[in-house]
A and B are shown apart, each in its own frame.
Chain A
Amino acid sequence: GEDVEQSLFLSVREGDSSVINCTYTDSSSTYLYWYKQEPGAGLQLLTYIFSNMDMKQDQRLTVLLNKKDKHLSLRIADTQTGDSAIYFCAEVDSSYKLIFGSGTRLLVRP
């Protein structure tokens, strides 16, 4: 079945760039997503990319998609302490169900 994998933890210094990586298995996914979850809260859709795109940029966020390697990354430029959260990568199946990775906990050090 489908599987999405992420590294569990990333620590960066405030002002640096953060890169969160994700691999997925379902090559038929039409969209791939990045969600952010702050403690005790629901998921906030940060950005998504259509599978025929290589890159998408939205302000401080840059998504790169390597469809051949089934690799997705999220780059956060000028990382701030408010960016500390858990970031989930997800793909969607044919029933519109989201398949989530385990989440990457981003810690931004002052």
Chain B
Amino acid sequence: GAVVSQHPSWVICKSGTSVKIECRSLDFQATTMFWYRQFPKQSLMLMATSNEGSKATYEQGVEKDKFLINHASLTLSTLTVTSAHPEDSSFYICSAIVAKNIQYFGAGTRLSVL
């Protein structure tokens, strides 16, 4: 099946630094990708919709200046957590629309901010 690759799988950073997470569609083109955040033992919370060649659409309550999304090609979307703080520590997961109404997910990135 379709593969969505997410990198890195785990990152530890100091408070105040920025962290970039990549989401790649390996064997298909994805004009739309999604970024989610998941807290321990909770469900996924949609952060934003990433559209190739245009600005991302953010969900209510998600700071666009804090979570920068770039979708410059049909196979890559990036999420940059700017000036990360301990409260940004979480599990971040991306997904890509493979076909109409079918989404595949990356393996997730665990972010720990010290």
Contacts and interface: CB of A to CB of B under 8 A. Distances in A.
B43 A45 contact: no
Nearest to A98: B103
Contact of A41 (B4, B101, B104, B108): B108
Contacts of A102: 42-43
Contact of B104 (A31, A45, A96, A97): A45
A101 to B, nearest CB: 7
Q: What's the dominant secondary structure at chain B's contact region?
A: strand
Interface residues of A, number: 20
B6 interface: yes
A96 B97 contact: yes
Nearest to B45: A100
A50 to B, nearest CB: 9
9 contacts: A35-B105, A88-B43, A92-B101, A95-B49, A97-B49, A98-B44, A100-B44, A102-B43, A103-B43
Interface of B: 1, 4, 6, 32, 34, 42-44, 46, 49, 93, 95, 97, 101-108, 110
Given A42-B4, A98-B34, 16 more contacts: A31-B101, A31-B102, A41-B107, A42-B93, A42-B105, A42-B107, A45-B105, A48-B101, A48-B102, A88-B44, A92-B101, A96-B101, A98-B44, A100-B43, A100-B44, A103-B43
